[in-house]
Amino acid sequence: MSETKTVNPAIFDWNGLNGLPRFDLVADEDFAPAFEVALARHEAEIDAVANQTAAPDFANTIIALEVAGDDLSRVSSLFWNRSGAHSNDTIQALEREIAPKMSRHYSKIGMNEALFRRIDALWQERDNLGLTLEETRVLERHWKGFVRSGAKLPRADQERLAAINERLATLSATFGQNVLADEKSWSLLLSGGDELEGLPEFLKDAMAAAARERGAEGQFAVTLSRSIIEPFLTFSTRRDLREQAFKAWVARGLSGGETDNRDIMRETLALRHELANLLGFASFADYKLDDTMAKTPANVDALLSKVWVKAVQKAREEEKALAELVTEEGRNHDVMPWDWRHYAEKLRARKFNFSEAELKPYLQLERIIAACFDVAQRLFGITATPVSAPAYHPDVRVFEMRDRAGKLFALFMGDYFARPSKRSGAWMSSFQSQHRLPLKNGAIGEMPIIYNVCNFAKPAEGKPALLSLDDARTLFHEFGHALHGMLSNVIYPSVSGTGVSRDFVELPSQLYEHWLTVPQILKTYAVHFETGEPMPQALLDKVLSARTFNSGFSTVEFTASALVDMAFHRDGAVDDPMAKQAQVLDGLGLPKSIVMRHSAPHFSHIFNGGYAAGYYSYMWSEVLDADAFAAFEETGDAFNPVMAQKLKENIYSTGGSVDPEDAYKAFRGKLPSPDAMLAKKGLAA
């Protein structure tokens, strides 16, 4: 049977609106044969590059590698999107099969001696090839990629490395599926009455919709989606229910049954340590940080330790204030993790005279999306226009993105609502990355097709989706990542968009969050969903003055997770990850009223994502983003056009074509210290 008869052409030939994939024509069963064909085609392309008789040059080796594997990229982007954002049993079974198969495929490429000889020859002669800066960066990326994949190792070590990577791919897929299963299977159904005491209407609406989705019409479901569990922990006056929900939330991946992740963590950490040792590194942390801005675990520890001391001191002051509220109510219990959000909200209402419930009616999803687009227009001249096109789920919106001249330069897709088929969290990814290389099909370059995934609570029919301030920040954060992909302006795919070091990739996203709370944006877009009235100036002033409220708690939550991540990957194989986590947290003096933001058994960033030994990067980038926004503040104009142009040219558009330190210095003139970040968090004193 020929390829054309066995493979659905819609997977490889994207002929939807403006080159979108035709998601509606791709069935789950289409992926397996498409992967088989795409992997074979890519292998043939690699062999053709490696085995050609012509002497290696940049065009016949590096450019040839840059454009190889287009079919594999297409089927992969469609499949991993479905795996993360709209999964099911068929997709999960195929994921367990595809993950190790992809690892074997890339390990084989990494062990291709003939191909590495060509790349190595070019690398040794790089100063004599007349390469541009971007071409040098692309060559370096390919050469380092092969070396880090074991190209210089003896064959036996290469084969062991390949086996490790294959097993790690399987473990990662299983870890993520276990977390999703635990999130999907648990809910706390409430009937009403005093079980709903303290809950605002927006939360009851979201819980009713979640119950309806689970076949429990007329009831109210507390789920483990952050957009429901966090406000429930904040507003519920039923301490017993808060405790029950909180303990289920932090126990994801600790079921004791088939979805328990403890053995997966243990094996993953042991294999990562062995991998690092094979490649000549003392630890996996050393291996991962070798190609980042931070460079070494010691540099990461220096930043995290400095922040930890200030954060835990602030958190203890916050805890004392919360304990006083508990006593005031005539209760006799310590502040526990299921109490913190509840009493912090009461303290905020008292201290700043507003509550999250008072704020939320002004933060409609539709208006915050519009605010996101308006900021992009003010800074970069971008116009977003909604269009009608089939997407991978009915909730997904599609937008055309045009520049100041009206030219279409990207497509953006927004997937905002939680559902049981979607993994938790929020992320940005792409179906297609920007580049300007000629392709085999005759096209010159490709337009970026970028998407954001969030997990906001879906409202009842006819009601608006209302966000918390944290939700709104998340939306801005992910759109900052999306802009990094959409504004990319490079020649080569491997350095496009977010193809930068892990501790630089969060700069464009975290920086973009700052514009949410610029007064002119909030005044314009924070309008009451019933009256249409803008947020009163008094409430706006309170929101802005409360920006550092509870910062000790949030910084301790994050930093504890980052320090545990580093300990896992710096200290060698870990026999008992839960005991190791407890040891690290005890040594830090973590207050018993706070837990890690991501406990190890559901720490998907490091066990099912790209942040192993890299969770610190959010804070590393936060040092950069605080300083970068200060550059605008110093001009007195949050949308200063000169700074905006420098930001676009040096940060959002360059991708990995420039060293991140050089890119930042070209924008700001210098590298920052942590001081602006600490001040932003209210931890500078």
Q: What angle do CA 422, 424, 428 make, to 5 degrees?
A: 85
Distance CA 316, CA 320 (A): 6
Helices vs. strands in the chain: H and E counts, helices first: 29, 9
* 407 in Cβ contact with 396 (< 8 Å): no
Instruction: Give 392-446 as a DSSP string.
Output: SSTT-EEEEEE-TT--EEEEEEEEEE--TTS-SS-EEEEEE--EEEE-TTS-EEE
Contacts of residue 273, defined as CB under 8 A and 6 or more positions apart, other chains included, come to 283, 284, 569, 572, 573
Distances (CA, A) of 81 to 318, 359, 483, 486, 569: 41, 33, 19, 18, 28
Chain centre distance of CA 649: 23
* 466 in Cβ contact with 97 (< 8 Å): no
* 230 in Cβ contact with 236 (< 8 Å): no
Distance CA 579, CA 79 (A): 36
* Site of tokens 């930068």: 500
97 is known as an active-site residue: no
Distance CA 355, CA 229 (A): 17
Paired tokens of 523: 């005044």
* 82 in Cβ contact with 95 (< 8 Å): no
Query: What is the pairing mode between strands 444-446 and 435-438?
Result: antiparallel
Distance CA 567, CA 175 (A): 20
Query: What is the pairing mode between strands 449-456 and 408-417?
Result: parallel
Distance CA 481, CA 490 (A): 17
Q: Is 350 helix (H, G, I), strand (E, B) or coil?
A: helix
Q: Annotated catalytic residue: which of 478, 513, 557, 622?
A: 478
* 78 in Cβ contact with 26 (< 8 Å): yes
Active site residues: 478
